[in-house]
Structure formats: C-alpha cells, structure tokens
Structure 1
Amino acid sequence: MTIVFKCHACDKRYKVSDERANKRVKCKQCGTVIEVPPLDEPEEATDGTAIYRHEARERDFEPAIGNEKNIEAISNHIEAHVGPVEMVFHELISDMVHVDVHWVAPTKERNWHTLITSGMSDRAMIVPDELVHYEYAELMISLPPDWPLSQEAFEDENNYWPVRLLKGLARLPHEFDTWLGIGHTIPNGDPAEPYAENAAFSCALLMPPIETSEEFHELELDDGSVIHFYAIVPMYEAETNYKLNKGLEALIGRFEKHGVGEVVDTSRRDTCRKRFGLF
C-alpha cells in the first residue's frame, strides 16, 4: 500500500510506502520537516469492497498539453481494432491532462457510436502496489446510432453528458490521487444526481469492453507501459446500491437477465428496482 501526502509549506506531493506512516521526513523541495500521515483503512461496502470518499480538490489549475506521440498511438490502436476515427473532439484548455475524445461512427457491423478518450494515460494513476501494471488507462462509452454528435448538439446537456462523463472520469484519478479499474463504481456527486434530464443514471460502472476484440483491451507503448481500456456502463441508483450490497457478479447477473449491454439506452428499465416487493 502507499500513502500520498503533500508538504504543508510548499505543496510538493509525495508517494511513500505505508511502512513510513507517522514518520518524519524532510521535504526535498523546501527542506521543511513534515510528518507522514497515518494509513487510513478505507470504508467498506456490504460486499466487502472499499469505498473511497474524496475531499474537495485543493490543488490549483495545472495547464496540460497532450502527448502527441501517445495520441497518435491511441488513434492508430482505435482504427486497428474498433474502426476509422470520424473526428476527434479536442480540448482547447486542459487541466492536469489533455483529454481528447475520438469518435468512431456507426457502421453496418457496429451500429452504434463509440467515443474513446486519449490523454488520461499521460499520467500514471496511483494504484495499489500489487496492481502497478494497471496504472495507465483510457475510457470509452458507446451510444445509439441516432445520438446527436456535433458541437451544436453539445450545447444541450441531454446530448453532451456522455462526453462530460468521459472527461470528468479521465481526470478524477489525477485530481484525487486515486485510480480507476474494472468493477469500480463512480457516483455523480455525493449524494449522486442524474447526469441529465433525459438520463436518470447517476453512477458509472467500469467494465472490460465487450463489443470489441480482446486485442483492443490493452495497448503497449514504446516505453513498455501498458494502457488499459475500460468501458463505461451508466447505472441507476438502485443498481449502484445492489452492487455495493451484493457484489459485482450479482449485478452482472441482473444485467444479463435484462439484456443490458454496453450501448447506452436511456430508456432501459432499472434492473434492480423492486416492483410489488419483488425484483
């Protein structure tokens, strides 16, 4: 396990092993003697998984410029395993990481839009020591073929929320010194609120992509680092609570029973909402 903290005098951030908890160290930047905070045990859900709650962001805006080499590598990877990139929605001003969204348009074989990020992997996430292989990630979301995707359409939050969700989740681990991986659920605030008027979903579940070949799931860069791609599955509040109480495997069983797939369907039923006392 690792402890992340910062110098109270100059705000330089440190990552140390848990063996150094409560010990005094000297800041390498300003020389101030600081005490490593204790290792806090995370809150646990009913199913035993950890629940992490993050305080409001304290760090200042950090301008970021995209890594052109990585962007090209990710784009080539998308075109090789998903389809031609129709367009890239570029950020004009970026904070911490430069997050672009690559759009693969529907085809006869894949009749849905696919949106995939690049830039989240420009920084390593702070993962548990035993999961160091998973410190780089990018995200994707699949939308119905009639979903409006244009700058004009994005002025309506009912159309834009999937893009906002991609960008927000891509920055989250870097803002809060944490990590995202398969099976993680990330609520839209605390308490969680619906993403938009047309989408009662209030939480995102990260899963392996199921509508692409396994070759797409990982991309090894020239420096040997590996980027893992995760699909976002938006969920209702009852589904989030069910997962926290019963576990991921039980929730996947509910999804399979009711035909919930990777392509977002804002009109789908809540698979865990009780009706007349029964599921």
Structure 2
Amino acid sequence: MGGKRIARQGDVELTHLEQAAGPVAPTLPTVEEIEAHVSRCMGEPAFVWHEVVSTTIHVDVHVILPTDDQPYYTLFTTGMSDRAMHVPADVKMGPALRFAELLLMLPPDWFDDPRSLDELRDERKYWPIRLLKCLARFPHECDTWLAFGHSIPNGDPPAPFAEGTGMCCALLVPPVRVPQSFYDLSLSDGRSINFYAVVPLYPEELQLKLTRGTNALLERFDVEGVTELLDPHRANTCANWLDPMAVN
C-alpha cells in the first residue's frame, strides 16, 4: 500500500458543484462486479446508503466498517460509472478515462452509529457523504469529466463544506491506502473503471495547486501524511504559502 502520487491529467479546476435535473440512467448489473472487486481488495461492505431520489444517475454509497488492519470507515460509490463521462477527444488515453467511481475514508470515531438516520441528519457528519454523491453526479449533470488532478470548489466563491471545517474544495487523486490490485478494474461488459480518492482542500491548498500544479501540492501532502483518510481539522499544508501573483 501507499506510494507517491504524480499528476498525469493536468491541473484542472472545474466549475463549482451544482444540481441539475435529468433522466436517470439505469443501474447496470455490473455494479455487483464493482462491489466484489472492492470487497476482495478492501473488505466487504457492511451496508449501503441507498439513494431514494436520484437525478441523472443513481448513486449509492457503500460502507466498509473499521477493522484492526483498516482502522477507518471506507466509503465508495457505485452508479457514477453507469454513464460514460464526456472526455475531450484530444485527451491522451481519453477512452480509458470515461468511467469512474469515488472513495474516501473517515476516522473510526466519525459515527457513533453509521446506520443512524439522526446522525446522518447532522451536516457535520453527513457532508463527506454528500460530497461523494455530488461529485459522482457532477460530470453527468454538467457534461464534463473528472479525473486525476481535477479540483472542484464548493460554490463560487468556495464555501466551507460544513460548520467546523475550513475545507471548501475537493481534489481527485489516486488512493494510497489501498493494495496495488485495487487500481484497475475491467468489467465483463468491456468498461474499465478508474477509482479516484476525494481529498478536501483548504483555499490556500487549492491556490497552490492552481498556481504551481498538482504535483507541488501532492509533495506537501506526502510530507505531511495527507491521504484520502479525512481529518477535517488537519493542518493546512499551505497556511504559510504566499501566492506570488497576489504580491504587488
């Protein structure tokens, strides 16, 4: 497990998260293949947060409980890959990037009871789940694509995801808390699924990424140990960074 992350898809910031209505893509039977793949690599999900009302795609969030070997919740989506993303024709290896699912990890004390609806009504608990669902739906509602190195702000201007955290943007990177076998999944219908970890960012981290590139930010993450395991109170890796473009 582990390893450094090198950006290959460019340093892209996409339009802020928004909602849009549209016909819902049918859930494909290959969702079971995605579930089985994650189960082999990370452990079997204990339960699924099923989406009751969907737009564009039906997004479910699967939950793997903390264990001694993996002392954190693992959350991953299914449904994002039910539709192909619109990857520009000039993107290198574009056809291989059309289908994706997302994941992140939460600390073991994030929930008292992850099945409790009362806890999920607390936005301080629910916002990472909401983020996964919004990001999974985003490329299909906005006729765009998501891949390694893409960043998505929470509004314009970016607003904190929830009370108690200053994080207001999301970055997609390769997960590092997974075995090597996790990265590549070819389904029986010929689709290749890419898995991206969602890492929430502070405004200064987004600015560094946009100014100096994804690799510059990931180098700081590697030094500070920032991964897809969410810590809403972690130190800002760019707190003392000064944007040279802002200096007169």
Task: Give the TM-score normalised by the residue count of structure 2.
Answer: 0.86
- Alignment of 1:246 with 2:212, yes or no, is yes
Contact 1:65 1:94 in 2 (8 A): no
| Equivalent-residue separation in structure 2 for 1:114 and 1:156 (angstroms) | 19
| Equivalent-residue separation in structure 1 for 2:225 and 2:52 (angstroms) | 38
Q: Which protein has the bigger strand share? A: 1
| Equivalent-residue separation in structure 2 for 1:222 and 1:90 (angstroms) | 24
Structure 1: unaligned runs, 5 residues or longer = 1-47
- Alignment of 1:236 with 2:202, yes or no, is yes
Contact 2:12 2:210 in 1 (8 A): no
Q: 1:83 aligns with which of 10, 27, 43?
A: 43
Match of residue 107 from structure 2:
144
Structure 2: unaligned runs, 5 residues or longer = 1-9, 244-248
1:88-121 CA-to-partner distances (Å, cap 9, x unmatched) read 1101121110000010111100100000000000
Between 1 and 2, higher relative CO (CA 8 Å, sep ≥ 6) is seen in: 2
Match of residue 62 from structure 1:
23
Q: Which has the larger radius of gyration?
A: 1
| Equivalent-residue separation in structure 1 for 2:12 and 2:149 (angstroms) | 11
Q: Secondary structure at the match of 2:30?
A: helix
| Equivalent-residue separation in structure 2 for 1:275 and 1:179 (angstroms) | 30
Contact 2:17 2:152 in 1 (8 A): no
Contact 1:206 1:230 in 2 (8 A): yes
| Equivalent-residue separation in structure 1 for 2:185 and 2:169 (angstroms) | 27
Contact 1:114 1:143 in 2 (8 A): yes
Contact 2:12 2:150 in 1 (8 A): no
Which structure 2 residues correspond to residues 156-175 of structure 1 after superposition, within 5 A?
A: 156-175=122-141
| Equivalent-residue separation in structure 1 for 2:134 and 2:16 (angstroms) | 14
| Equivalent-residue separation in structure 1 for 2:73 and 2:228 (angstroms) | 11
Match of residue 96 from structure 2:
133
Match of residue 173 from structure 2:
207
Q: Secondary structure at the match of 1:268?
A: coil
Q: Which residue identity is paired with 1:75?
A: E
Q: Which residue identity is paired with 2:155?
A: G
Q: Which residue identity is paired with 2:58?
A: H
Aligned length: 228
Match of residue 84 from structure 2:
124
Go from structure 1 to structure 2 and tell me whether the alpha carbon gap of 1:56 and 1:169 turns closer, same or farther (over 3 Å shift). closer
Identity in percent: 44
The runs of 4+ residues in structure 1 deviating greater than 3 Å are 48-57
| Equivalent-residue separation in structure 2 for 1:269 and 1:90 (angstroms) | 33
| Equivalent-residue separation in structure 2 for 1:276 and 1:164 (angstroms) | 31
